[in-house]
Amino acid sequence: MSNVDIDLIIGGPQGGGIDSAAQIIIRSFSIAGYEAYGIREYHSNIKGRHSYFHVRIKDDLVRSLRYPVDVLACLDAETPFVHMNDITENTLVLFDQDLRNTKLAQVLTMEGETKKHIEERLVKEGCELTVNGALECMKRSGAKLVPVSFRDLVIKALGPNKPPARYANTLGASISMALMGLDSEFTRSGIESVFGKKKEVLEDNEKIVKVAYDFVEKNDGISVKKLGAKVTKERYILTGNEAIAIGKVIGGLKLQTYYPITPAADESFFLEGHDYFEEVIAGENESLSKSGVVIVQAEDEIAAIAMAISGAMTGARTATGTSGPGFSLMAEAIGYAGINEIPVVVSLYQRGGPSTGLPTRNSQADLLFAVHAGHGDFPKLVLSSGDVNEGIEDAVKAFNYAEMFQMPVIHILDKNFANSFYVIDGIDYSKMKIKRWKLHEKNDEEYERFKFTEDGISPMSFFGKDIMWLTGDEHNEFGHITEDPETRDKMMEKRMHKLEVAKNTIPMEDQAILFGEKDADVTLVSWGSNKGLLLDMLDKLKSEGVRANFLYIRLMAPFPSEFVLNVLKNSKLIIDVESNYTGQLAQLIEQNCGFRIDNYLLKYNGRHQTLDETYDGIKSIMKGESKRVVLRNGA
C-alpha cells in the first residue's frame, strides 16, 4: 500500500504564476522520485480571475485526483472563498494573513453568481462575509489554518525593494512542500528546473525557499510528515498538448497549421518553441528526416485546414490543431479531403460548448460531431487518446492510418488531457514506426489517381511527380468531374469500403480494450481522459470485493461494433461515464451495435472528474437510487 498520497490545490489570480508554482511542485516531487499528476483549471480571461492547479502526489502510480484535498494553498483573497467546500478534517490551509479582513464584495475578479453562492453558504454557517469568515467555515470542518504574511516573508528574504506579489507563487509552493515534508534540496532543484539558469532569479528563489522552510520549522502546532527521497531516475514531465506535439514529430510531421484557440494552441506554441527534438529522436527512427517542421499560424481555421490539405497533396505529413468552434469551420474542407482521399490529420481538443461556450473548461461533447463532420457520406477515421503515452503513440499512428487508408484522421482529445501534467519514465520508440502509403511507382502520362482496386486504396502520387486532377466534385478514376450514376456508385463504394479495410487492419488494442475481470458485476464504459480515473476506480472497487471491468473505447470511426457488443451483451450492470450531457458514446454504441445503455454517470460543468465523486455516483447507481447521476464538484 502507498504511504504517501497527498492532494493539493494551489490557487491565485490568472497571470499570477500559478502554472509556475504547480510546475515547481510537480518537478520537485518528481526529482525526489515520487509520482505526480495534476490538472490546470483556469478562467478564459487573460489576467485576474481565479486559476488553480489540482495536484496529487503518491509514491506509486497516480492517474486520478480526489476531493477533499490535504493542502490548500491560497495565494490571494479569492481562493479561500472559492475552495471552502474542498477541504476536510486536518486539511492544511495556507493563506496570506494580511488578507484576513478582505470582504467578499471587495473581490472584484469573482463572478456575481459565484459570490451569491458563497454568500449564501457563509450566511447559513453564521460566518462573516470576509476571508476570515471563509477561514472560520473551514476551521469548523476541521481544517488547520496556516497564516503567513507573504509580504513580510518576501521582505525578510529579499529586502524591501523586490515586489512581494512577484514571489507569492514560489513562496506559496515552497511553504506547501515544506508542510508536506519534502526536503528543501528537492524544492530548490524543482525551482532550478522551472526557471533555468538565470542567476539572479535562482538566487532570489533560493532565499525564498530558505525563509519558507524556516517559517514551517519554527511554526509550532503544524504537523509535518518528513518525506525521504525515493530512487530517482530520469523522467519526462509532459502535458497532453506537448505529448501530441512530440508524437507528431516522431511520426514525421513536416507542416503544422493552426489558428490560436484554447486549449489546442499550446500544442503549436510548443512546436514553435523547440528545435523539433532532433537531438532526442536522432537514431531512434531511421525513416524520420531531420529537415525540420514548418509551423504556420493561419488567418483563420478555414485557411489552416486548407493549408494542411495542400501540404498533404505534396506528399508531406501534415496536421492542424483546433477546438470546437474552429473545427466547425473546418467541416467543408474535411469533406474535400474525404472525396479526394487526402491523408490529413486534425487534432481536435474538445472544450465546453456550444458556440464559444466554456473556452478553457473540459468537455467530451464533440464526439458525435467529429464522427459525422462534413456533409455527405465519406470515410474518415476518428481516434481517441486517454493519457500521454497513448497520445504520443497515437499521434504517430494517426499519420500512419491517414496514409495507409488515404482518408482524413480526426485525433479527438479533451481539455483535461491537454492541460494535465503527467510524469512518465520515457518514450518507447519501438512502438512508433512510420508506415508509408501505397505509392504510384510509374511516371505514366495517364495517371489514375482514383484507380479502382480490390481494397479501395489507389496507388498515390503527389504534386510535382504526376499530373492529377482534384476537385470537390464527384470524379472518375482520373479525377475528371462526372455525374454518371454507375461511376458514382463505384466511387462511393470504393471510398466507403476503406472503412472495412481499416477496421480489419487496425490492431484491436487501438480500437477498444477491456480492463478488469471478464465476468464482472459492474461494467464501466468510457473514453478519453477518463481512462486513468476509471482504472483507479477498478482498483478501488476491487479492494471492496466488487467485481468490475472497464470497456475503454478508442476508435470511434470505424466503430469496433463486434468487440463492444460481445462485451456488453454479457455484462450485468453497465454504466456510461462521460463528460457531456447526452451520453454521446452511449449513443454511438446504440447506433453501431443496437445496444442501449440505461445508466449514466455524467459531468458537464467543465471541471475535472474526481475519484471520490465518481465512486459515490457508481455506488448510487449500484444501489438502484438513480439511473442518471450528474457530478457537480469543482470550483
Name the strand (E) or helix (H) holding 156: helix 150-158
pLDDT at 558 (0 to 100): 98
CB 68 within 8 A of CB 91: yes
Q: pLDDT tens across 186-242, in order?
A: 999 999 999 877 788 889 999 999 999 999 988 866 666 667 777 777 889 999 999
pLDDT at 198 (0 to 100): 77
pLDDT at 279 (0 to 100): 45
Of the candidates 358, 334, 355, 472, the one whose C-alpha atom is nearest the C-alpha of residue 412 is: 334
Domains annotated on the chain, with CATH: 5-218 (3.40.920.10), 237-431 (3.40.50.970), 438-506 (no CATH), 509-630 (3.40.50.920)
**Exposed, middle or buried, 464 (CB in 10 Å: 0-12/13-18/19+)?**
exposed
What phi-psi label fits residue 515: left (phi over 0), alpha (psi between -120 and 50 degrees) or beta?
beta
pTM of the model: 0.94
Q: pLDDT tens across 36-78, in order?
A: 999 999 988 777 789 999 999 998 999 999 999 999 999 999 9
CB 238 within 8 A of CB 246: yes
pLDDT at 449 (0 to 100): 94
Distance CA 546, CA 569 (A): 20
Measured distance between the N- and C-terminal CA atoms of the chain, rounded to whole angstroms: 31
Give the dihedral of Cα atoms 205, 210, 216, 219; nearest 10 deg. Answer: -130
Distance CA 84, CA 68 (A): 10
Given a cut of 50, the residues of the chain with pLDDT beneath it are 1, 279-289
**Cβ atoms within 10 A of the Cβ of 283, count?**
9
